[in-house]
Amino acid sequence: MRKIELEIVALSHSVTQSHNYAVVLGETEGQRRLPIVIGGFEAQAIAVALESMTPNRPLTHDLFKNTLDTFRIHLKEVIISNLLDGIFYAQLVCEQDGEVIEIDSRTSDAIAMAVRFSCPVYTYEFIMEAAGVILDEQDEAAVKEKKVAKPVKKDAGFEKYSLKALNKLLDEVLQQENYEKAAKIRDEINKRSGGESTS
């Protein structure tokens, strides 16, 4: 089956699902685009690698890359291999000592790994026929304008948030295991609880 090479065209908020993001992949030799809805944590993992940012401590995908590197396993390519009931399936095609190994993966995780290894991403024609779209010039310009949504900066000020909003945000970032951001939010909450001025 002929593989179609894809590249990341944009990473932005999902139009259809408000709390999610969409990574838009485009044919390297064609006009079709493949939009894939992903979660916020996965979007951040992709954006961090695309922007060549280095977190103080490795994110999960960085840890996995470091592990593969340590055991001399090379990620050759990522294949978005199937689409069932609206869910994309992917495989990491790895090589170790001349042996090729395929590992099942969520598509968002596979893309995050592909960016870190600078390896190609492929899919098949039947997937592009089922889920690919051709954008008109106006839509294409809008997608390219959005390009990559950068993750929230670590030094983002929390003083503009209410105490209730801070507690809600704290719960969200803890679920995402973003402990550095959680610590900053907790510090702001403690600061207010101690009666210190935030102005």
Total of domains in the chain: 2
Regions of the chain with pLDDT less than 70: 15-18, 136-157, 177, 179-180, 194-199
Same domain flag for 123 and 95: yes
Same domain flag for 42 and 75: yes
Q: What is the pLDDT of residue 157?
A: 64
Q: What is the pLDDT of residue 154?
A: 38
Same domain flag for 57 and 129: yes
Print the SS3 string covering the chain.
Answer: CCEEEEEEEEEEECCCCCCCEEEEEEECCCCEEEEEEECHHHHHHHHHHHCCCCCCCCCHHHHHHHHHHHCCCEEEEEEEEEEECCEEEEEEEEEECCEEEEEEEEHHHHHHHHHHHCCCEEEEHHHHHHHCEECCHHHHHHHHHHCECCCCCCCCCCCCCCHHHHHHHHHHHHHCCCHHHHHHHHHHHHHHHCCCCCC
Q: What is the pLDDT of residue 158?
A: 72
Same domain flag for 101 and 193: no
Please give the distance of CA 49 from its chain centroid, rounded to a whole number: 9
Other beta carbons within 10 angstroms of residue 59's beta carbon come to 19
Phi, psi of 90 (to 5 degrees): -140, 165
Same domain flag for 24 and 108: yes
Same domain flag for 101 and 164: no
Last residue of a domain, one of 106, 130, 146: 146
Q: What angle do CA 133, 137, 140 make, to 5 degrees?
A: 60
Domain around 59: 3-146
Same domain flag for 16 and 93: yes
Residue 127 belongs to a domain with what CATH number? 3.10.690.10
Residue 102 neighbours by CB under 8 Å, 6+ apart: 91, 92, 93, 94
Last residue of a domain, one of 131, 146, 161: 146
Same domain flag for 102 and 192: no
Same domain flag for 47 and 17: yes
Last residue of a domain, one of 129, 146, 163: 146
Same domain flag for 126 and 174: no
Same domain flag for 135 and 186: no
Distance CA 175, CA 183 (A): 13
Same domain flag for 57 and 141: yes
